[in-house]
A and B are shown apart, each in its own frame.
Chain A
């Protein structure tokens, strides 16, 4: 069944122009993406076995997806034997309903969360708030975004587009609201200390914790969370009620598989050999244990994922959300995450958004946000064929008649003429004859039709008065 994804309803040109005019965002994104991409390259260079382990991880992920249903069944059995409850959600709406029911059953009034792209996919915060439940994000980046009433602009670093000055202003404002001391200065330590202090109060007050999950281990029924801040430790242990919402594709068969993959998100995402904290949840608090929730629900989300199984796009389900493809993408570096209009931006977002929703939303993504430079394909640690998929999606759009008819006609005529030497030469003569309407100072400066966009910002030399074909005919032709 097709999935549902929330979108920014502004049309692409509006989103694009907003991004291209936001110089602070462009600068911040440019600097941080380059830093992350370089950190990855440096980390790989300093780690001789990096590629060996990466390759192992790819195999583990591919293999796990091939036996998805079996592993999910084992996982469910294990979780339930340790006191947890597993719910399968086919769509985003199903997941929301399940989570709300759990929260309402326990009369939850406040929720704390770890960073989770899946809950962004569900727009869970909005659903909870509409039900009168307060939500607090505890990942620093997510917390900043929440204060700014924005959405993440990057799958790994949600506040990537914000600079220190902007963060300081947000915290200052928050301090006013909560009658607490504002951050001492704009430096990173002061800002982090402020967030720690504020979040600690919220941790202690919350009735329910909500986590995502980086991996699911079938063998033991474990949800694995990796963070650099340790906030997941608190979210999973302080509140008495815990809900973990995880995409079905996060499954791995066993611990040895987990060991093979666990390094990868941080290694490719931020150039760190391992993330600072790894949090494991394997069940509710037993009688002899002093940690863990009294009640634990795991919501396994499909939302369009399993329909990619056994298709040429199956490798997409191996994504570990490291963000490496975003960091190297020239388009992402210009427009940032919000311009994509999807919770999943960058190359992986271009591919996943139409696939999960069967082109229901944002069908412009594959065509409008990719130059096909192949940088993402080179960067992806999971060997996902992102550029190949983008070309394929463009072809699917064309087959479904989703392109403007004028554009399609241009390509048809182009191919018709250029598939024969005679037609090629004829079209060249026409171009040479017609182009003089558009030549200024020896350069073409405008053109009709498909080519018109080029000349908005660029010139082009005119078609040569003697093309290479003609030169060859004239100077060498007789010899042959």
Chain B
């Protein structure tokens, strides 16, 4: 499974995202495992924090720009050390924030702070330069030569996060990746519908957000009837929302981040019990 066509291993700078860092570190550990198994050298710029999307989407652009400038500085420095290195984002939504929103956010914020147009353009250009080297995890994985793994017959239903789908245009890639790792895909009805998360929208407008989540869980119910044994996504934010809702409804249906499934398949034949165990991982109080 080693892919070292260029004779040297590629360097990947991991952007773990704050949600995974704090609430599901196993997801990032699994991603590191997957990348290293494919011969990559993984680095983790430890000064990274959060991309600022929560603040940006809520209209707090000055606050978001503070976080964005920090993010750009951290990854720009990391990328400078190796002209071939890429940034691997463990979230389609955060990747979209960096790639699609940072350049204009930093440009306008610089002007708002009274910087010169030159200075504003420099920030924009820097954000664009770093953004070009950001790639979402499953999209990176799809380009890696992976031997087709034998089918495990585990039925997986996949939630395509809105920003990954609409802002990055990644639609079927993660499902293809899952399939080539032996999982069978169970379709989800109205798969392009939002899960209702919306960052802090889930907090400030919880009644509507929950109603949308419940609609998604209804669709999930149908996927379960059709044989889905687990729910996954390339966006942990959506998964945290849906699994948080399932948990409140005392529904133990397994929810796992996509890299965890891939890492499991890498290690050998996957069983339903292994998936359930992974999903249930709980912190001891």
* Interface assignment of B268: CB less than 8 Å from any CB of chain A: no
Q: Which of A334, A397, A465 contacts B212 (CB 8 A)?
A: A334
Residues 444-471 of A, flagged 1 when their CB comes within 8 A of B and 0 if not, give 0100001111101111111111111101
Q: Which of A20, A394, A407, A468 contacts B16 (CB 8 A)?
A: A468
Rounded to whole Å, the gap between the CB of B242 and the closest CB of chain A is 9
Cβ–Cβ contact A464 & B22, under 8 A: yes
- The chain B residue sitting closest to A470, CB to CB, is B25
Residues 393-411 of A, flagged 1 when their CB comes within 8 A of B and 0 if not, give 1111110000100011001
Determine the distance from Cα of A285 to Cα of B53 in the docked complex, in whole angstroms. 60
Cβ–Cβ contact B196 & A371, under 8 A: yes
Cβ–Cβ contact A334 & B67, under 8 A: no
Q: By DSSP majority rule, is chain B's interface helix, strand, loop, or mixed?
A: helix
Task: Tell me which of B44-52, B113-121, B137-145, B172-180 binds A.
Answer: B44-52
Cβ–Cβ contact B163 & A398, under 8 A: no
- The chain B residue sitting closest to A443, CB to CB, is B247
Cβ–Cβ contact B59 & A461, under 8 A: no
Cβ–Cβ contact B203 & A373, under 8 A: no
Cβ–Cβ contact A467 & B25, under 8 A: yes
* Interface assignment of A108: CB less than 8 Å from any CB of chain B: no
Residues of A within 8 A of B210 (CB): 456-458
Cβ–Cβ contact A17 & B207, under 8 A: yes
Cβ–Cβ contact A460 & B245, under 8 A: no
Cβ–Cβ contact B22 & A463, under 8 A: yes
Residues of B within 8 A of A480 (CB): 43
Q: A330-B196, A371-B194, A458-B241 are in contact. Are A394 and B59 (CB under 8 A)?
A: yes
* Interface assignment of A277: CB less than 8 Å from any CB of chain B: no
Q: Which of B20, B49, B206, B212 contacts A453 (CB 8 A)?
A: B206
Determine the distance from Cα of A148 to Cα of B69 in the docked complex, in whole angstroms. 55
Please, how many residues of chain B have a CB less than 8 angstroms from a CB on the other chain? 70
Determine the distance from Cα of A456 to Cα of B213 in the docked complex, in whole angstroms. 13
- The chain A residue sitting closest to B163, CB to CB, is A374
Residues of A within 8 A of B208 (CB): 16, 20, 331, 334-335, 368-369
Residues of B within 8 A of A256 (CB): none
Q: A391-B57, A411-B55, A461-B282 are in contact. Are A418 and B18 (CB under 8 A)?
A: yes
- The chain A residue sitting closest to B70, CB to CB, is A419
Within 8 A of A (CB), among B204-238: 204-213, 215
Residues 360-399 of A, flagged 1 when their CB comes within 8 A of B and 0 if not, give 0000001111111111011000000000000101111110
Rounded to whole Å, the gap between the CB of B38 and the closest CB of chain A is 17
Rounded to whole Å, the gap between the CB of B149 and the closest CB of chain A is 26
Residues of A within 8 A of B55 (CB): 411, 414-415
- The chain B residue sitting closest to A412, CB to CB, is B63
Rounded to whole Å, the gap between the CB of B114 and the closest CB of chain A is 16
Task: Tell me which of A85-93, A179-187, A420-428 binds B.
Answer: A420-428
* Interface assignment of A255: CB less than 8 Å from any CB of chain B: no
* Interface assignment of B61: CB less than 8 Å from any CB of chain A: yes
Q: Which of B190, B200, B201, B206 contacts A34 (CB 8 A)?
A: B190
Determine the distance from Cα of A368 to Cα of B192 in the docked complex, in whole angstroms. 21
Residues of A within 8 A of B49 (CB): 418-421, 424
What band does the interface of chain A fall in when counting residues whose beta carbon is under 8 Å from B?
35 or more
Cβ–Cβ contact A472 & B247, under 8 A: no
Residues of B within 8 A of A458 (CB): 202, 206, 210, 213, 241, 244-245, 247-248
Residues of B within 8 A of A394 (CB): 57-59
Within 8 A of A (CB), among B17-76: 18, 20-25, 28-29, 43-44, 46-50, 52, 54-64, 66-67, 69-70
* Interface assignment of A287: CB less than 8 Å from any CB of chain B: no
Rounded to whole Å, the gap between the CB of A195 and the closest CB of chain B is 32
Rounded to whole Å, the gap between the CB of A410 and the closest CB of chain B is 9
Residues 150-193 of B, flagged 1 when their CB comes within 8 A of A and 0 if not, give 00000000000011001100000000000000000000001011
Q: List 30 A-B contacts (CB under 8 A).
A: A20-B207, A20-B208, A20-B211, A30-B215, A330-B193, A330-B212, A334-B208, A368-B204, A370-B201, A371-B201, A374-B162, A374-B167, A395-B59, A408-B60, A411-B55, A415-B55, A416-B66, A419-B49, A424-B49, A456-B206, A458-B202, A458-B210, A458-B248, A459-B248, A461-B24, A464-B24, A468-B44, A469-B21, A472-B46, A480-B43
Residues on B close to A: CB < 8 A? Answer: 16, 18, 20-25, 28-29, 43-44, 46-50, 52, 54-64, 66-67, 69-70, 162-163, 166-167, 190, 192-194, 196-213, 215, 240-241, 244-245, 247-248, 282-285
Nearest first, the 8 A-B pairs at minimum CB distance are A394-B59, A371-B198, A415-B63, A458-B244, A373-B194, A453-B203, A468-B25, A373-B162
Residues on A close to B: CB < 8 A? Answer: 16-17, 20, 30, 34, 330-331, 333-335, 366-375, 377-378, 391, 393-398, 403, 407-408, 411-412, 414-416, 418-421, 424, 428, 431, 436, 439, 442-443, 445, 450-454, 456-469, 471-473, 476-477, 480
